Amino acid sequence: MKTFSKGKTVLIFLLLFAVIITLDVIFFDDNYYEGMFFKMDTDIVIRGEGNNMDLATRDILKMIDNLDANMNASNVNGNLYKLNNEGGTVSFDSDTIKVLEVAEDIKIKSNGAFNVAIRPLVELWGFNGNYRKVPTDTDIADTLSVIASTQIKREGNKVSITPKGKIDLSGIAKGYASDKASEILKEYDVDFAILDFGGNIMTYGQKPDGSPFKISIDDGKEGVFATLSIKSGAVITSGEYQRYFEENGKKYHHILDPKTGFPAENGLVSVTILSDSGVLADALSTACFVLGAEDGINLAKDCQVKAVLLDKNKNVYTVGNPEITLAEGYKLTEK
């Protein structure tokens, strides 16, 4: 764990916040804490103010390690790896069960656009590791057949899966971790905090001057296209520019469509969900991206969250009237 002196914090705080978050007013005193850590296969930045911010951060990091051990499909010592590779029935902790319950709910509401049984497809494309390639049509068809027939059964804390089926929780685990982090911040009576889980943002509490947090959304090419003002809660984005590879001059991003077997292509660049629930926002950002603008907007409405969708023509669609300021050249559009 690393803390920074007051003077050094100002510089690092400004440099890091220039990437995605800006605050109208920056407060620094002896209670301010900032740290950067590599967890859940991403950089996690924790910033906050309060007497117990260092203790809260300590417990947040422990919590993240526990969640990652249980929910990371690549952890050879974890139960999820055991279920995916050995089958049978495996007992899970209550957190993983809760995440599976939310995942099943969003799968139903999105008509399968969000599906944690997508792991075989993730492995086929190589997005679980460093070697990525475009699969053959035959391999994709065979893998889609496995996903379509996969059944995940839960009885209490016991989970079983059909043969060849595998679970991937990477599209929802960070959102759940941000919810758990908020609970810890509340337990320690922290004044306010901003947590960045590799671009998944959770704001907690209230800034000393009472003004809203400012969250900027990048378009992956020209920079920030929108700035959101929020009091607290999760702001989670799924975008085609976040993880991708190129083959034969074409880009292939990591947001795979469980029905086509290919990266979702529907004209969207990104989807940002605003919600009090990080786990809901995480799953919905993926589901809405896969569905495309029209169906994604309808899903966001059905789930009663706020949303910002950007397409390749710089059209911006919103749900729930988020407080938003657009950069020049982008326009709010009705769908």
Share of the chain above pLDDT 90, in %: 79
Q: What is the mean pLDDT of residues 132-155?
A: 96
- Does residue 309 fall inside a structural domain? no
- Does residue 136 fall inside a structural domain? yes
- Does residue 79 fall inside a structural domain? yes
Q: Identify the residue with better confidence: 11 or 275.
A: 275
- Does residue 126 fall inside a structural domain? yes
- Give the range of the structural domain holding residue 139, as residue numbers without chain letter: 69-161
Structure confidence by residue, pLDDT tens digits, 144-190: 999 999 999 999 999 999 999 999 999 999 999 999 999 999 999 99
DSSP state of 117: G
Q: What is the mean pLDDT of residues 120-137?
A: 93
Say which CATH number the domain at 103 has.
1.10.3980.10
Reference 96, options 76, 116, 122, 120; nearest CA is 116
Q: Identify the residue with better confidence: 9 or 304.
A: 304
- Distance, in Å, from the CA atom of 176 to the CA atom of 173, rounded to the nearest integer, reads 5
What is the DSSP track for 34-93? EEEEEETTEEEEEEEESTTHHHHHHHHHHHHHHHHHHH-TT-TTSHHHHHHHH-SEEE--
Show Cβ contacts of residue 189 under 8 Å, excluding neighbours closer than 6 positions.
Answer: 50, 51, 52
Q: Which two tokens stand for residue 139?
A: 């391999």
pLDDT tier for residue 30 given thresholds of 50, 70 and 90: low
- Does residue 122 fall inside a structural domain? yes
Contact 162, 140 (CB under 8 A): no
Q: What is the mean pLDDT of residues 26-31?
A: 51
Structure confidence by residue, pLDDT tens digits, 99-109: 999 999 999 99
**Residue 225: burial class (beta carbons within 10 Å; 0-12, 13-18, 19+):** buried
Residue 219 has pLDDT above 80, yes or no: yes
* Count of alpha carbons within 13 angstroms of residue 40, beta-carbon side: 30
Q: What is the mean pLDDT of residues 317-334?
A: 95
Contact 335, 297 (CB under 8 A): yes
Place of tokens 């069960």: 97
Residue 92 has pLDDT above 90, yes or no: yes
- Distance, in Å, from the CA atom of 312 to the CA atom of 289, rounded to the nearest integer, reads 13
Q: Identify the residue with better confidence: 87 or 129.
A: 87
Q: What is the mean pLDDT of residues 213-220?
A: 93
Mean pLDDT of the chain: 89
- Does residue 130 fall inside a structural domain? yes
Q: What is the mean pLDDT of residues 211-219?
A: 94
Strand order in the sheet with 323-326: 21-22, 213-218, 224-230, 323-326
Residue 29 has pLDDT above 60, yes or no: no
Show Cβ contacts of residue 246 under 8 Å, excluding neighbours closer than 6 positions.
Answer: 252
Q: Which two tokens stand for residue 45?
A: 């930045």
- Does residue 20 fall inside a structural domain? no
Show Cβ contacts of residue 155 under 8 Å, excluding neighbours closer than 6 positions.
Answer: none
Residue 88 has pLDDT above 80, yes or no: yes
Residue 7 has pLDDT above 60, yes or no: no
- Does residue 335 fall inside a structural domain? no
- Distance, in Å, from the CA atom of 98 to the CA atom of 199, rounded to the nearest integer, reads 23
**Residue 298: burial class (beta carbons within 10 Å; 0-12, 13-18, 19+):** middle
Residue 16 has pLDDT above 80, yes or no: no
Structure confidence at residue 67 (pLDDT): 95
Q: Identify the residue with better confidence: 73 or 7.
A: 73
Counting the structural domains of the chain, the total is: 1
Residue 194 has pLDDT above 50, yes or no: yes
Residue type, 30: D
